[in-house]
């Protein structure tokens, strides 16, 4: 079924209805990923009073060649529709160099970015640390004492949350319906409750997580609940909802052109780990700010030292012992960002179903890709687009 056949009748025909049960599955995700607000409760992330538009200096990137996910040579123009891309935006030296949109998408359409939300949360953390609102070396329970009996009690620190190095008994398996992830999504309101299942909520789910026996800080272990706890730490430290903190400290100051929004559960807990929906232009604007060491239109928004720390302090040995080592060999992870090329400080934010921010300082380039790939994580497509991004960067150098 094509995307333009979904949700186009009133009421939609049976089989063309996008619901809470199917919105992350193809073909329904083609509509669901840029209409999240019509499926889930959300909170607004307001832009500021002074949005900033891009200067335009367009170039044709469609003919750039790279090795595709099937092992054959392809071009950017062919790879975009072949891999269910919804949007591609390329910035060079802060100017709009290229953009492409799929069905029903344009520069003003919010799209869910899934775990790219984590990197936004990590950048916000740098602002709060500089302002003395939080201390990354302090225990999580200093901010949220009710987590004392969970894995986040004891010597678990905010830094362990930032670096995904919590020794938690949680497997981020997006396929197995009996896994932690499926219970987690029901708690967050992303999936309907099972018949006979006792209703729960996100914060109660977080408080129930237990250790796996590994020492905190000993290895990279990617678990989305860590970022939701991080967002909760921000809320408790600031005494305000996450969406308001993000708007006031980051989204508005960086000059976002459009409001973003974030999903919330039945008790107004906000999904810092994966619930942000924003336009491709604004996500690119965020990436450009990171490329410029936290500066947006002449204003220091994220501390430059925080960006430097991401580039210098990621633990390559902890990464090598983690579950993503094969996907991005030789990388490291720091403050919710992937440093995928440690020699050139190439940073990446990565979300399921094909969401990317790629930042290449040498090429002065930022690339944002939004997609509705069928699988939550397709390693071959992820590696192919990494090659594609590198090829685009090479063309601009």
Contact 130, 229 (CB under 8 A): no
Residues 6+ apart with CB under 8 A from 105: 34, 86, 87, 111, 280, 370
**Exposed/middle/buried for 316, CB within 10 Å: 0-12, 13-18, 19+?**
middle
- Token pair 């396929």: residue: 175
Q: How far is CA 117 from the centre of its chain?
A: 3
Helix ranges (H only) for 321-376 are: none
Alpha-carbon distance of 316 to 246, in angstroms, equals 29
Residue (of 315, 316, 344) closest to 329 by Cα position: 316
- Residues 115, 150, 224, 335: which is the catalytic one? 115
Contact 105, 112 (CB under 8 A): no
To 10 degrees, the CA torsion angle through 16, 22, 24, 26? -50
Sign of dihedral through CA atoms 265, 333, 122, 209? positive
To the query of whether residue 115 is one of the catalytic residues in this protein, the response is yes
Q: Which residues are known catalytic residues? A: 115
């Amino acid at each position: 079924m094509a995307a333009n056949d979904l949700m186009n009748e009133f009421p939609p025909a049976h089989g063309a209805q996008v619901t809470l049960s199917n919105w992350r599955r193809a073909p329904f995700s083609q509509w669901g990923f840029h209409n999240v607000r019509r499926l889930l409760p959300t909170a607004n992330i307001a832009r500021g009073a002074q949005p900033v538009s891009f200067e335009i200096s367009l170039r044709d990137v469609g003919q750039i060649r790279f090795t595709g996910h099937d092992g054959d040579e392809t071009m950017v123009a062919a790879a975009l529709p072949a891999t269910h891309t919804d949007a591609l935006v390329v910035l060079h030296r802060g100017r709009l160099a290229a953009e492409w949109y799929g069905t029903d998408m344009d520069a003003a359409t919010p799209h869910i970015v899934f775990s790219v939300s984590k990197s936004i949360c990590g950048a916000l953390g740098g602002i709060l640390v500089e302002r003395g609102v939080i201390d990354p070396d302090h225990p999580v329970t200093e901010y949220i004492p009710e987590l004392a009996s969970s894995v986040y009690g004891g010597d678990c620190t905010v830094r362990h949350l930032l670096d995904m190095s919590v020794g938690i008994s949680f497997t981020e398996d997006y396929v197995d319906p009996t896994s932690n992830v499926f219970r987690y999504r029901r708690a967050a309101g992303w999936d309907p409750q099972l018949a006979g299942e006792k209703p729960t909520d996100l914060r109660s789910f977080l408080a129930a997580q237990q250790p796996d026996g590994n020492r905190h800080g000993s290895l990279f272990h990617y678990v989305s609940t860590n970022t939701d706890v991080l967002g909760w730490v921000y809320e408790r430290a600031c005494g305000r909802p996450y969406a308001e903190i993000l708007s006031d400290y980051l989204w508005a100051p960086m000059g976002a052109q459009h409001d973003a929004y974030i999903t919330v559960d039945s008790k107004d807990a906000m999904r810092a780990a994966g619930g942000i929906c924003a336009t491709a232009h604004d996500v690119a604007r965020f990436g450009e700010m990171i490329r410029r060491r936290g500066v947006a239109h002449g204003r220091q928004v994220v501390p430059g030292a925080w960006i430097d720390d991401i580039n210098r302090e990621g633990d390559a040995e902890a990464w090598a012992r983690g579950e993503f080592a094969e996907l991005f060999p030789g990388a490291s992870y720091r403050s919710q960002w992937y440093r995928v090329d440690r020699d050139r400080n190439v940073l990446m934010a990565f979300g399921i179903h094909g969401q990317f921010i790629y930042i290449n300082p040498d090429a002065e380039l930022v690339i944002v890709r939004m997609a509705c790939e069928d699988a939550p994580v397709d390693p071959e497509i992820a590696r192919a687009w990494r090659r594609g991004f590198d090829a685009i960067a090479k063309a601009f150098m």
